[in-house]
Structure 1
Amino acid sequence: MMASASTVTNKKSAPGPVFDKAAQRILNLFFVLNSSPEPLSTEQIVLDSDLGYGSGNIDSDKRKFRRDRDRLLERGIVIKEVREAGAQETEESAWTVDRDHTFAAGGLITADDADLLMVAIDQALVSGSTAFATPLADIRSKIAYLTDRADVGDPMIRHSPMADAVWSAFAERCALRFLYRNGRGEQRMRTVCVYGIFEHEGIAYFCGLDNTTNAVRTFRCDRIVRAWRPSGSYAIPEDFNLSDYLFFEFDFADREPVAATFSFEPESPSDLVFGLTHGRGKLDRTGEGWRWTVGIRDIDAAATFCMEHSMDGMRPVSPDALKQAWNNLIERTVTAHGCA
């Protein structure tokens, strides 16, 4: 039975928590915009009572929404307006979190944190990395400026002009036109929408949609002979995964890949298996353990890779040539140990 109003007002009750409705609304707004895969329209936001709007007075809710964006901005969270290409000024806006500028203001990290971050960046730069030299140097300069650490000396940075050109195209999401020399010394013009950049054994690589083959291809930055100013625009597909294009030792051979299967023990931790396989190929888990099937070009290199991770429970399953290469490695190891 529900208590009457007089019963409630006359009865002393223990003090309950006091909620700040404005703070709750701002928190809800940030959470929803941050987790939404698509920008939300003004109407979707101001008509949503669960967010803390939807009062029935749409003009009042729009003013609340504008004030809430300002309050989030004061806390370093930037909510940006998104319009479709060619949209009229009168068309409804959509909103999302501006991840490039959110928390970009100074004063959000301590001086000690800034020093640690700069030391980590310096170590990466002096190691000779060419793929990430430019963006890391830019980050370092911003940290030094925002935290008044400009007195800390700059490390020796080895810039690669061609890697810089690739980074510029990638950052602007504009297609890069360049003259490329392949491994046989042949030169050809290419135009590529850069989807990702990575480094392998000190060499900078990038992959993206190649206009010549209309497929995602991988290129070496140091084989670019000349690059032109990026132009046009593109979007990286949502299903693109850079891990699919990272290299293993068995990727480097001038022959077609063959499918190889490796096993891991049932008790092998999932984070270890995921870390070793880099998201490449097909990974299954059954009651008998893990099975990883991936294309390999160099069977001996694949057997060596498997041997290096044998302590992690990795074993070759197929093809027979891979198992034979594995056995040969074991025999050579045993023979060398016996002769020592």
Structure 2
Amino acid sequence: MTASDTTATIKKGAPEPGFDKTAQRILNLFFVLNSSPEPLTTEQIVLDSDLGYGSGNVDSDKRKFRRDRDKLLERGIVIREVRAAGAQETEESAWTIDREHTFAAGGLITADDADILLNAIDQTLAAGSSAFAAPLADIRSKIAYLTGMSATGEAPIRRSPAVDAVWSAFAERCALRFLYQNGRGEQRERTVCVYGMFEREGAAYFCGLDNATDKIRTFRCDRIIRAWRPSKTYAIPADFNLNDYLFFEFDFADRPPVAATFSFARVAQADMISGLTRGRGELMRTEAGWTWTVDVRDFEAAASFCMAHAMDGMRPVAPDSLKQAWNHLIERTVHEHARA
């Protein structure tokens, strides 16, 4: 199931005193549990004011948390207590969503449409797409219910809470706040308006407007440590094109982008260069050959990318920092080869 499914389910509940405040807290609780890769402890939940707890009265917040679990259960969402093996009764509990016993209600599409969607999803899953397999499997389960087809015998799907969180924020067009760990192990909170998602080599990525830089950035879903329920709504700009942001190895670094230029041999085939550059940057044909200018954040990664395609006649041209990284890479490769 997705957060959007749950949002719709909860909003159908009958109004009650303090409905708005309670509903917001329940949605926050569901989303943070759904997006967390590990169970959250009672303390992490009841002390978090962003979730709607953290009032300063721990006992009161624990009672709210217990009532909220019951309200989620009424709507088909099972919150399971997790205890380490051999843990004492006095030790703190942790909590997670029991996905095996949590289901979304069906009836949102017709049976005729369901047959078409079911075939399309089965073909996509059979093609080996792994990053979005869990969201697609959720959709497939609902479609199987509508068509009366059995869902038994299907291969188990490994879920990614982070992908679920990003997908839900993208579907609802609501900004996602999350704790992100970059390639150097540094953690920082970000808030991103998700404009698009894609997959490369079994990993899921997303790009969108990052509030910290006011730039469109690309992030890896598996580097999300924790996510909060999406909040502020947004619209995707009409001129946004996901193809412009399909990443390269040199896109991931917390540095401002710098325009870098590479060259290709004059005899290089246009279709080869077009496939290699993926429509990014500016590609030009000159008398001396091809040149490609593209934004780079990590010069070492850009030099490594260039080296991997050196047999295609690819060479660094500018700036000097890129050429220095290329020369250092050559020196290191020669040194390691000599040692071997």
> Residues 290 and 148 from structure 1, CA distance in 2 versus in 1: closer, same or farther, beyond 3 angstroms?
farther
CA distance in structure 2 between the aligned counterparts of 1:254 and 1:109, rounded to whole angstroms: 40
The percent identity for this pair of structures is: 61
Tell me the equivalent position of 1:207: 207
Alpha-carbon offset, residue 291 of structure 1:
0.8
Separation in 1 of the partners of 2:299 and 2:324?
10
> Are positions 1:180 and 2:179 aligned together?
yes
1:1-340 counterparts in 2 under 5 A? 105=113, 117-120=124-127, 123-125=128-130, 129=131, 132-138=132-138, 140-141=140-141, 150=150, 153-176=153-176, 178-181=177-180, 183=182, 188=189, 191-199=191-199, 204-211=204-211, 213-221=213-221, 222-228=223-229, 230=230, 233-253=233-253, 255-330=255-330
Mapped contact 1:114–1:147 kept (Cα < 8 A): no
Structure with higher RCO (Cα < 8 A, 6+ apart): 2
Q: What SS does the aligned partner of 1:279 have?
A: coil
Contact 1:210/1:217 (8 A) holds in 2: yes
Q: Indicate conservation of the 8 Å contact 2:218/2:247, yes or no.
A: no
Q: CA contact under 8 A between 2:121 and 2:136: conserved in structure 1?
A: no
1:1-31 CA-partner distances (Å, limit 9, x unpaired): xxxxxxxxxxxxxxxxxxxxxxxxxxxxxxx
- Structure 1 portions without partners, runs of 5+: 1-100
CA distance in 2, matches of 1:300, 1:187: 23
Equivalence for 2:88: none
- How many Å apart are 1:168 and its aligned residue? 1.5
Looking at structure 2, the residues matched to 302 and 284 of structure 1 have their Cα atoms a distance apart, in angstroms, of: 19
Aligned counterparts of 2:319 and 2:218: Cα–Cα separation in 1: 27
Separation in structure 1 between the aligned mates of residue 326 and residue 186 of structure 2, nearest angstrom: 35
Deviation, structure 1 residue 215: 3.7
- The one-letter amino acid of 1:180's match is L
Q: Distance in 2 between matches of 1:146 and 1:269?
A: 51
Equivalent residue letter for 2:315: R
Judging changes above 3 Å, is the alpha-carbon distance between structure 1 residues 263 and 152 closer, same or farther for their aligned structure 2 residues?
A: farther
Amino acid in the other structure paired with 2:126? V
Partner Cα separation in structure 1 for residue 252 and residue 140 of structure 2: 35
Note the alpha carbon deviations across 1:205-238, whole angstroms, 9 max, x for none.
322234565443444444352422x456433112
3-state secondary structure, aligned to 2:129: helix
Q: TM-score, normalised by structure 1?
A: 0.52
Larger Rg: 1
CA 1:223–1:269: 2 relative to 1, 3 Å: same
TM-aligned CA deviation for residue 152 of structure 1 = 7.0
8 A Cα contact 1:118 1:140, kept in partner: no
Shift of 1:309: 0.9
Deviation at 1:150, TM superposition (A): 4.4
Q: Is the 8 A contact 1:260 1:319 kept in 2?
A: yes
1:221-265: CA deviations, max 9, x gaps? 44352422x456433112212244333223344554443211123
Contact residue 180 and residue 224 of structure 2 kept, 8 A:
yes
- The alignment partner of 1:165 has SS state of helix
Q: Deviations for 1:132-173, whole angstroms, at most 9, x for unmatched residues?
A: 233332465578679987467322322122321221121233
The one-letter code of the counterpart of 1:245 is: Y
Paired amino acid for 2:113: A
Q: Deviations over 1:66-98 (max 9, x none)?
A: xxxxxxxxxxxxxxxxxxxxxxxxxxxxxxxxx
State the Cα distance separating 1:288 from its structure 2 match. 2.9
Moved more, 286-295 or 327-336: 327-336
Cα distance change of structure 1 residues 287 and 106 upon mapping to structure 2, 3 Å threshold? farther
Residues 138 and 327 from structure 1, CA distance in 2 versus in 1: closer, same or farther, beyond 3 angstroms?
same
Q: In structure 2, do the counterparts of structure 1 residues 270 and 134 end up closer, same or farther at CA, with 3 Å as the change threshold? A: farther
Partner SS, residue 303 of structure 2: helix
Q: Helix, strand or coil for the counterpart of 1:247? A: coil
Q: Which runs of 5+ in 2 are unaligned?
A: 1-108
Partners of 1:171 and 1:312 in 2: CA distance: 41
| 1:299 aligned partner, one-letter code | F
Structure 1's 330 and 175: CA in aligned 2 closer, same or farther, altered over 3 A? closer
